[in-house]
Chain A
């Protein structure tokens, strides 16, 4: 309303400024993607025979479908664990003093400051046969023989959940911080207990953060090649490793390309479900 010129709407700037980035994406992202797609449309490894054979092969092969299924399931499990563990942390963050807030944010961010390889090896040390967990449990006399933790679905989910936790916690902290603290008091003064307040007020209003966190965690978990392969070991096969084997070990590039495209579409489908949910819940924020 003032006389000061309002900052210009970003859409009114010339598109020229975006050209370098657009060019970069065109050359290094769009072009390889199209090449990948083109490659996947060949039935033989030499790339002479056109056809949808690779897709047909994947979609009729129970083993391949199993790998896809277990990868998507892995993502769902990691996301669920991150949400269940991350929400209380974010909730706590909004209710403690500034000093504790600094400590919490440091703990949340710490995983991001160490290499994913280092973190994954740490989990191998923790989960191994002679690892910290087994050694402690044996010393306490809870178990006689070591538990198999490494190279199991459980191990992969736990390790991935720790690795991806910041992606869940940070959007949740932001979303919970946007909720007017008076709403808590209002709900309480109207006779609602803590659980009703949580499920009727806090949770619905934090949904944008929940959905953002889930999308990020999910996408990161199912593509986490290093953690999946190192903690999962040889017995657990997920899409990124499957893809790698087909491309690098077996040199079956067309099939690897088809796997990529199918994986990409599957991830896009899940992410777009999240995005749709996010759009529906957007009305909850702000106001």
Chain B
């Protein structure tokens, strides 16, 4: 990141945390984050992403492993010495302090004089486009405005790392998009290394340079949004990020780059071995996204019967029942006049390309 003047790197080195009860919250997490990157920690609730955030911030002391910010191991530092800015899900603005006092709070804690504090608070409020709100109280602001203030407050201390905990969850859909753009703009301007905790995959894919997918306290995959979406390394990532059809099958033949799989639905297709090497004769789950399936006219692909068609604007989603009785979804772009498909019409389906069908060893 050449345009990252103030961003420091963040290394999460083999971090494991156990609750006092002995249950694992996060297990052996390794993240190597470059200065100025935006990283999304993506996972369902209870996957340990918030625990990891609190470990980085210093609110929880991990059982094992190290947190390294820049060149410093920060494990011994309390949260107020780590210079990590946090935006909480509920913003956690101080309700009895004015907006400008909220923004200047961290500066006051650093012993900066009143005049500088006021000037800095005003500068930050202009940065988040709320220059006229300085004297108001937090409850007089809308949700989106409160979030801007929370951002300004976190940025005021010039943190080396910015942590955002489900920052957009409380906002309605239109406002959410505005704020996502806003956060990305501010992050570009400031160049601060940013970690966003979210359960919203669209948010993670659209905002982050790289996405870390967590499940049950383990890191499933850490890669670019397109890696995570197009080249998932685990079945969990493939099903959690985006929607997918899971089709069981048996490996006919396999090498490192391609596998021929006989689907239970009744066709042989070429798939990408995604979760390591596959053994011949082994059961696999093939994941194909709805938009990566196409209707084919010839005898290739597998047969099915149209159950229902949902026109969703730009796309049409068809529910197809395959020969083995399972249902698959097919998403078709509406280009020109889409061929009408009657309920009960017999069709044949095939993946657009072998690389778009991911085969994972079946787990029982």
CB of B153 closer than 8 Å to a CB of A: yes
Cα A187 to Cα B57 with chains together (Å)? 12
Chain B residues near A185 (CB, 8 Å)?
57, 59, 79, 86, 88, 92
Bound together, the chains give a CA A282 to CA B139 distance in angstroms of: 13
Please tell me if B110 contacts chain A, counting CB pairs below 8 Å.
yes
- Is the pair A189, B57 in contact by a Cβ cutoff of 8 Å? yes
Q: List 28 A-B contacts (CB under 8 A).
A: A180-B90, A180-B92, A182-B88, A183-B92, A185-B92, A186-B88, A186-B92, A186-B93, A187-B94, A187-B109, A189-B57, A189-B84, A189-B86, A189-B154, A190-B85, A190-B105, A190-B106, A191-B110, A192-B80, A192-B106, A201-B94, A205-B96, A284-B96, A285-B95, A286-B95, A286-B139, A287-B138, A287-B139
A196 at the interface (CB under 8 A from B): yes
A182-B88, A185-B79, A287-B138 given as contacts; is B157 within 8 A of A190 (CB)? yes
CA distance A213 to B83 in the complex (A): 38
Interface centre among B57, B95, B105 (most CB of A within 10 A): B95
Instruction: Kindly state whether residue B5 has any CB partner on chain A within 8 Å.
Output: no
Contact check, B86 vs A183: say whether CB atoms are below 8 A apart: no
Complex Cα distance, B154 from A185, in Å, reads: 12
- A196 shortest CB reach to chain B, Å: 6
Contact indicator B105/A187 (Cβ below 8 Å):
yes
Q: Which residues of A contact B157 (CB under 8 A)?
A: 190-191
Which of A188, A200, A205 is in CB contact (< 8 Å) with B95? A205
Q: Which of A182, A191, A287 contacts B80 (CB 8 A)?
A: A191
Q: How far is the CB of A51 from chain B (nearest CB, A)?
A: 51
User: How far is it, in angstroms, between the C-alpha of A287 and the C-alpha of B94 when the chains are bound?
Assistant: 9
Complex interface: chain A residues within 8 A of B138 (CB): 287
Asked if B78 is at the interface (CB within 8 A of a chain A CB), the reply is yes
Interface of A with B (CB < 8 Å)?
Answer: 180, 182-183, 185-193, 196, 200-201, 204-205, 283-287
- Establish whether residues A191 and B59, one from each chain, have CB atoms under 8 Å apart when the complex forms: no
Check if B83 sits within 8 Å of A191, measured CB to CB: yes
Judging by beta carbons under 8 Å apart, are B94 and A183 in contact?
yes
Is B137 among interface residues, defined by CB-CB distance under 8 A? yes
Which residues in A have their C-beta under 8 angstroms from that of B93? Answer: 186
Chain A contacts of B88 at CB under 8 A?
182, 185-186
The answer to whether A283 touches B96, judged by C-beta atoms less than 8 angstroms apart, is yes
* B95 touching A182, Cβ below 8 Å: no
B103 to chain A: closest residue by CB: A190
A285–B96 Cα distance when bound, in Å, is: 8
Known: A196-B109, A286-B95. 7 other contacts (CB 8 A): A182-B88, A185-B92, A192-B80, A200-B105, A205-B96, A284-B96, A287-B138
Please determine whether A204 and B96 come into contact, CB atoms closer than 8 angstroms. yes
**Interface majority SS (helix, strand, loop, mixed), chain A:** helix
Across-interface contacts of B156 in A (CB, < 8 A)? 190
Contact between B80 and A283 (Cβ–Cβ < 8 Å)?
no
Contacts of A183 in B (CB 8 A): 92, 94
- Residue among B59, B96, B137, B153 making CB contact with A190, cutoff 8 Å: B153
- Assess the A192–B105 pair: CB atoms within 8 A: yes
CA distance A39 to B139 in the complex (A): 52
In the complex, what distance in Å separates the CA atom of A287 from the CA atom of B99? 13
* Cα–Cα, bound, A191→B108 (Å): 9
| Chain B residue nearest in CB terms to A180 | B92
| A249 to B: closest C-beta gap in Å | 52
Q: How far is the CA of A191 from the CA of B80 in the complex (A)?
A: 4
* Alpha-carbon distance between A204 and B81 when the two chains are bound, in angstroms: 24
Q: Are B92 and A182 in contact (CB under 8 A)?
A: yes
Q: How far is the CA of A180 from the CA of B89 in the complex (A)?
A: 12
Set of chain B residues within 8 Å of A196, measured between Cβ atoms: 109
Please indicate the chain B residues that have their CB under 8 angstroms from the CB of A285 in the complex: 95
Whether A188 contacts B79 by the Cβ 8 Å rule is yes
Considering the complex, give the chain A residue whose CB is closest to the CB of B54: A185
Q: A189–B85 contact, CB under 8 A?
A: yes
CB distance from B138 to the nearest CB of A (A): 6
Q: Which of B79, B94, B95, B137 contacts A189 (CB 8 A)?
A: B79
Within 8 A of A (CB), among B127-145: 137-139
Q: Considering the chains assembled together, what is the distance between the CA atoms of A70 and B106 in angstroms?
A: 45
In the complex, what's the smallest C-beta–C-beta distance from B134 to chain A, in angstroms? 17
Interface string of B66-84 (1 = CB under 8 A from A): 0000000000001111111
Q: Which of A187, A191, A192, A196 has most B Cβ within 10 Å?
A: A191
Whether B137 contacts A283 by the Cβ 8 Å rule is: yes
Q: Which of B303-336 contact A (CB under 8 A)?
A: none
User: Which residues of A lie under 8 Å from residue B94 when comparing CB positions?
Assistant: 183, 186-187, 200-201
Whether A182 contacts B96 by the Cβ 8 Å rule is no
Binary interface encoding of chain B residues 45-79 relative to chain A, with 1 for a CB under 8 A from any of its CBs, else 0: 00000000000010100000000000000000011
Residue of B nearest to A181 (CB): B92
The answer for the CA separation of A6 and B300 in the assembled complex, in Å, is 62
Complex formed: what's the CA distance from A10 to B216 in Å? Answer: 50
Nearest CB in chain A: distance from B177 CB, A: 25
- B112 nearest CB across to chain A (Å): 10
- B160 vs chain A, min Cβ distance (A): 12
Q: Would you give the shortest CB distance from B194 to chain A, in whole angstroms?
A: 15
How long is the Cα–Cα vector from A190 to B105 in the complex, in angstroms?
7
Evaluate contact between B137 and A287: CB separation under 8 angstroms.
yes
What residues of chain A lie closer than 8 Å to B92, measured between beta carbons?
Answer: 180, 182-183, 185-186
**List of 3 A-B pairs having minimum Cβ-Cβ separation, nearest first:** A190-B106, A287-B95, A182-B92
